[in-house]
């Protein structure tokens, strides 16, 4: 039945609101499904409308849990992450959630529904796609302003200072947490009793040893343009898709933990944006927030060039994407042997004074400013300790914004 609804909704996704649109209830809220917004590995995201206040639109993420308790607990980790960052600026929060149980053919399966604010402007990937279609590019200052917004939102995870909503909610391995006004069903109460954490038991023990049990930070682990929504005003980025969020640092204390971490990354972190240390997780290393800094470098490059640096390079060379990532093999389109050299805007610390002439303007068209290139280079160091941390990255981006000339209107 559930699959039939997905099929029906995806078939009608291009149609405006049908009179017979399916409806569903999330706790006390009755919602009408308008259309499919997108789909991922195990989830569908629908645009829904409140039946009681038709001007209220939401995005409803439906996470199917086909593999029993394990997949339910993964979905609940995502729900938990929405709560943890519920009041962190620049990070999506959930409005409500529920767990539905379906019984059929003697089997029971669960589906987790998460109600999210709807962002009508879409995400950064949509903007990249529009640029590719229109042969246009982001004005650099506007782009770096958006990028700074993403850095600041990410800082809310990397330097987690707690949230009034989230505090007392995550009780690794034990205890209850307080409600947040959400009308939870019996299933949710069961989950509540068990207590939730973003860590598996092995990870929790390893981390407690490494941090002396102190509160830590979080890594998003799937930063990419498709996971950065644009606020309705058009000026603020919103970090979303918290299904991959993991507590950090994570010391890899055993071979089994290394394999589990690598498998989780393979499932949840998008390959062209995934840091090298997650491709080949080694025992004795520590996986931390630097994985996101790598992905930020890939994201900035994709905004400038149209795709991830490693997708670009593996397309160019015909080589494997993972080998390009592991060896840090990437370049800007106008760099390297055989590349058509364009005059670079702003050598060294910043773009130089504007030089006149139509030929000059034409030559400079499509050229990426040197200070922006440098941000990408710093993020894409194969050795995690050589990458800036989030505060250093914010500082770099603020300096770039200071030296960039105003965008032409």
- Say how many CA atoms lie within 13 Å of 149 toward its Cβ: 20
**Is residue 123 near ligand ATP by the rule CB under 6 A?**
yes
- The burial of 6, by beta-carbon neighbours within 10 Å (0-12 exposed, 13-18 middle, 19 or more buried), is given as middle
**Is residue 217 near ligand ATP by the rule CB under 6 A?**
no
Strand, helix or coil at 102? strand
CA dihedral 30, 33, 36, 38 (to 10 degrees): 0
In DSSP terms, 96 is beta-bridged to 115
Any binding-site annotation on 61? yes
- Only one of the segments 203-211, 238-246, 353-361, 374-382 lies at the binding site for ligand ATP (rule: CB under 6 A); that segment is 238-246
Considering the complex, state which of residue 115 and residue 375 has its C-beta at the smaller distance from ligand ATP: 115
Crossing angle of the two packed helices 390-403 and 140-158, in degrees rounded to 10: 160
- The burial of 107, by beta-carbon neighbours within 10 Å (0-12 exposed, 13-18 middle, 19 or more buried), is given as exposed
Neighbours of 198 (CB within 10 A): 20
- Only one of the segments 34-42, 249-257, 317-325, 375-383 lies at the binding site for ligand ATP (rule: CB under 6 A); that segment is 34-42
Least distance from C-beta 39 to ligand ATP, angstroms? 6
Least distance from C-beta 226 to ligand ATP, angstroms? 5
**Is residue 59 near ligand ATP by the rule CB under 6 A?**
yes
Residue nearest to ligand ATP (CB): 40
| Residue ranges in 330-389 that form contacts with ligand ATP under rule CB under 6 A | none
286 and 252 Cβ atoms separated by less than 8 Å: yes
**DSSP secondary structure of 293-331:** HHHHHHHHHHHHHSS-HHHHHHHHH---HHHHHHTT---
Report how far residue 37's alpha carbon sits from residue 10's, in angstroms, rounded to the nearest whole number.
9
**Is residue 241 near ligand ATP by the rule CB under 6 A?**
yes
Report how far residue 66's alpha carbon sits from residue 312's, in angstroms, rounded to the nearest whole number.
35
Considering the complex, state which of residue 243 and residue 351 has its C-beta at the smaller distance from ligand ATP: 243
Size of the site for ligand ATP (CB under 6 A): 20
| Residue ranges in 259-288 that form contacts with ligand ATP under rule CB under 6 A | none
Which positions ≥6 away from 233 have C-beta within 8 Å?
Answer: none
Among positions 45, 72, 169, 228, the unique one binding ligand ATP when judged by CB under 6 A: 45
- Only one of the segments 103-111, 139-147, 219-227, 255-263 lies at the binding site for ligand ATP (rule: CB under 6 A); that segment is 219-227
Least distance from C-beta 123 to ligand ATP, angstroms? 6
Considering the complex, state which of residue 207 and residue 264 has its C-beta at the smaller distance from ligand ATP: 264
Report how far residue 276's alpha carbon sits from residue 292's, in angstroms, rounded to the nearest whole number.
11
- Specify the DSSP class assigned to residue 91: B
- Only one of the segments 115-123, 191-199, 337-345, 384-392 lies at the binding site for ligand ATP (rule: CB under 6 A); that segment is 115-123
**Is residue 75 near ligand ATP by the rule CB under 6 A?**
no
First to last CA, the chain: 52
Report residue 232: phi and psi, to 5°: -60, -25
Least distance from C-beta 376 to ligand ATP, angstroms? 23
- Only one of the segments 222-230, 291-299, 353-361, 386-394 lies at the binding site for ligand ATP (rule: CB under 6 A); that segment is 222-230
Among positions 34, 75, 79, 116, the unique one binding ligand ATP when judged by CB under 6 A: 116
Among positions 243, 251, 351, 384, the unique one binding ligand ATP when judged by CB under 6 A: 243
Counting DSSP H helices and E strands in the chain, the numbers are: 14, 12
**DSSP secondary structure of 111-158:** EEEEEEE--TT-BHHHHHHHHHHHT----HHHHHHHHHHHHHHHHHHH
Among positions 97, 118, 218, 332, the unique one binding ligand ATP when judged by CB under 6 A: 118
**Is residue 323 near ligand ATP by the rule CB under 6 A?**
no
Report how far residue 240's alpha carbon sits from residue 226's, in angstroms, rounded to the nearest whole number.
9
**Is residue 37 near ligand ATP by the rule CB under 6 A?**
yes
- Only one of the segments 112-120, 151-159, 334-342, 360-368 lies at the binding site for ligand ATP (rule: CB under 6 A); that segment is 112-120
Considering the complex, state which of residue 81 and residue 368 has its C-beta at the smaller distance from ligand ATP: 81
**Is residue 41 near ligand ATP by the rule CB under 6 A?**
yes
Considering the complex, state which of residue 61 and residue 387 has its C-beta at the smaller distance from ligand ATP: 61
Residue ranges binding ligand ATP (CB under 6 A):
37-38, 40-41, 43, 45, 59, 61, 116-119, 123, 222, 226-227, 229, 240-241, 243
Residues annotated in the binding site for ATP, as ranges? 61
């Amino acid at each position: 039945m559930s699959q039939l609804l997905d099929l029906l909704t995806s078939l009608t996704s291009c149609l405006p609101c049908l009179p017979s649109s399916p409806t569903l209830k999330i706790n006390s809220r009755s919602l009408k499904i308008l259309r499919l917004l997108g789909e991922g590995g195990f989830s569908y995201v629908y645009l829904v409308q409140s039946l009681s206040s038709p001007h209220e639109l939401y995005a409803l993420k439906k996470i199917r849990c086909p593999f029993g308790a394990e997949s339910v607990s993964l979905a609940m980790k995502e729900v938990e992450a929405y709560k943890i960052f519920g009041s962190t600026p620049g990070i999506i929060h959930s409005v409500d959630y529920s767990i539905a149980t379906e019984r059929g053919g003697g089997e029971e399966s669960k589906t987790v529904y998460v109600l999210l604010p709807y962002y009508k402007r879409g995400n950064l990937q949509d903007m990249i796609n529009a640029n590719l279609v229109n042969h246009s590019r982001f004005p650099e200052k506007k782009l770096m302003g958006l990028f700074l917004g993403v850095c600041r939102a990410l800082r809310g995870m990397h330097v987690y200072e707690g949230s009034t909503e989230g505090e007392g909610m995550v009780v690794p391995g034990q205890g209850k947490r307080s409600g947040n006004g959400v009308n939870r069903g019996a299933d949710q109460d069961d989950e509540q009793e068990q207590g939730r954490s973003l860590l598996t038991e092995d990870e929790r023990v390893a981390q407690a040893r490494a941090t002396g049990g102190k509160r830590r930070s979080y890594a998003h682990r799937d930063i990419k343009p498709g996971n950065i929504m644009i606020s309705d005003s058009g000026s603020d980025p919103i970090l979303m898709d918290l299904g991959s969020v993991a507590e950090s640092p994570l010391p890899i204390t055993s071979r089994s933990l290394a394999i589990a971490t690598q498998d989780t990354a393979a499932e949840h972190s998008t390959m062209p944006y995934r840091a090298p240390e997650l491709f080949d997780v080694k025992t004795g290393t520590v996986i931390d927030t630097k994985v996101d800094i790598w992905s930020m470098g890939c994201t900035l490059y994709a905004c400038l060039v149209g795709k991830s640096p490693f997708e670009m390079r593996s397309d160019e060379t015909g080589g494997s994407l993972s080998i390009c990532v592991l060896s840090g093999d990437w370049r800007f389109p106008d760099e390297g042997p055989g590349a058509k050299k364009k005059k670079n805007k702003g050598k060294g610390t910043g773009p130089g004074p504007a030089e006149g002439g139509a030929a000059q303007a034409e030559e400079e068209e499509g050229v990426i400013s040197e200070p922006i290139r440098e941000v990408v280079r710093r993020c894409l160091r194969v050795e995690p300790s050589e990458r800036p941390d989030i505060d250093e990255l914010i500082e770099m981006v603020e300096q770039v914004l200071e030296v960039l000339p105003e965008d032409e209107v």
